[in-house]
Structure 1
């Protein structure tokens, strides 16, 4: 796995969880309103993307498959801890490569939660068992299941530059299935091409109109455009004084409202992480239980600053 810090950028920064490089108190975030519990179903994926933040690929099993029993255990902990969740999220890798994804989603829906599954909508999702499972879940829990499809750009050439030749067409085929089956879907794209937000959203809007997808491209919750997580970029550290300077609240940062469960290769049990974006940095591993995961999180990584505090990004629906 890549080192969590660039060898050239941010020299001297993001080393001490208590203090910034210039000696100020580092900002910390408490879990004040848990809304989303994420499950990383495993880092295996059917494709290798050029800029995958978690390095998913057909050979990367650093995070192994979770099971339905794992999910059931954490759902029971949610009840015990009285977490006011409204959403269970599944990410990867490609979640539909995990043979138990339908069972895991069913358990979450039956527990009363909305379910969000992140997918590239390609061949793993399009297997008959998966398609039938998705349709059955939607029929049993209408309006509670959403699939967020990774569509890096509205232009086929640019999308395929990230995900491989032919991937755009395969993803649209999967989205056509979701459209025809009446499965709610949203899109996640990337802000990689130096175009304005308005231009990018208009491009997606035109594509959605042509394909008949009921997705509002101008709604950031329905068409999420993520900034690129470039570790070579110089970013400021976030101090306790920054909240007032930026007119932001720590409650707005993702780690105030979410946690992610993963299982590392060779581990006996899953663990809970502070963040969906930092699966390999040990300082963001909080423990095996949700009780342990209620501790504060030090914003001691460039992603904390650029992606979450300054970028205002969120992975939830």
Structure 2
């Protein structure tokens, strides 16, 4: 997998978990309010995108399928640890390629959690068995189930530039089915292109009106616009002094409120990671249990600065 931290732009940075390149104390973030637990259902995906942070593809099985039983074991740990988790998130890869995704989502919903599933809304989701399962979940749990659809741009040309020819049309077809089934959906886009946020949101709003999608283009929770995560771009290291300089609190950063469970190829058991964005960096692996995952996270990666602290982004709803 890609290891771009030690690129020319960041040479000498992000080498020590506790100290920055100029000798200052590196910032860390405590798990103060665990609201979201993510499960990576596996890195296999039905498509290969041009800029996939996790390198998902039809052949990448570096993170293998999680099982319903493994998810349930972590739901049990949430209760045992008293974590105030509101949301269970499922990401991939493409979660609907995992044959147990409906069962995993049901298990989380039955515990009273909200469930967010990230999907490209293409063929894996559109299989009859999966659609029937989603309809059953919607009937039982209503808007506590949300599907966040990856729509990189509101235009077919730009979206297909990222995800392949014809992918925009196939995703729109899936979104139309979700609309007609009454299943709550939101959108995740990207800021890859030379347009400001206002232009992007206006473009999505026009698309939503044309398609009668009940999605608010101006609500950052319903239309999430992610900054591109280029680990080769130069970014500053975050020190303990940065909180006051930036006027931010560690509690605003994603790792203060979430963790992610993955299962590596060949591993006997899943492990818990500090961050959804860093599935392959060993220093962000925290152990096999939620108890171990309660340790603080040292912000020792370019994504920590660009995406979370400076970008202010979050993967949660």
For residue 90 of structure 1, give the secondary structure of its aligned residue in structure 2: strand
**Superposition CA RMSD, Å:** 0.5
Q: CA deviation at 1:231?
A: 1.4
Rounded to whole Å, the distance in 2 between the matches of 1:53 and 1:9 is 18
Contact 2:4/2:232 (CA < 8 Å) preserved in 1?
A: no
Q: Distance in 2 between matches of 1:143 and 1:6?
A: 43
2:167 matches 1:167: yes
Partner secondary structure for residue 50 of structure 1 = coil
1:55 aligns with 2:55: yes
Distance 2:193 2:17 in 1: 34
Query: Alpha carbons of 1:28 and 1:58: their partners in 2 closer, same or farther (altered >3 Å)?
Result: same
Residue 203 of structure 1: aligned partner: 203
Partner residue, 1:107: 107
1:7 to partner: Cα distance = 2.4
> Where do residues 31-42 of structure 1 align in structure 2 (5 Å cutoff)?
31-42=31-42
What is the deviation of 1:6?
4.3
> With structure 2 as the length reference, what TM-score do the two structures score?
0.99
1:66-94, Cα deviation, whole Å (9 max, x unpaired):
00000000000000000000000000000
Q: Do the aligned partners of residues 31 and 4 (structure 1) sit closer, same or farther apart at CA in structure 2, a change above 3 Å counting?
A: farther
Q: Deviations over 1:105-129 (max 9, x none)?
A: 0000000000000000000000000
Report the 3-state secondary structure (helix = DSSP H, G, I; strand = E; otherwise coil) of the residue aligned with 1:143: helix
Measured in 2, the distance between the counterparts of 1:205 and 1:261 equals 34
Give every structure 1 segment of 4 or more consecutive aligned residues whose post-TM-superposition deviation is greater than 4 Å. none
| Residue of structure 2 equivalent to 1:219 | 219
* Unpaired segments ≥5 residues, structure 2: none
d(CA) in 2 for partners of 1:48, 1:12: 32
Q: Give per-residue Cα distances to partners, 1:17-69, cap 9 Å, x unaligned.
A: 11000000000000000000000000000000000000000000000000000
> For 1:9, what is the secondary structure of its paired residue?
helix
- Counterpart residue number, 1:11: 11
> Structure 1, unaligned stretches of length 5 or more?
none
Number of residue-to-residue matches in the alignment: 317
Deviates more, 1:285-294 or 1:7-16: 7-16
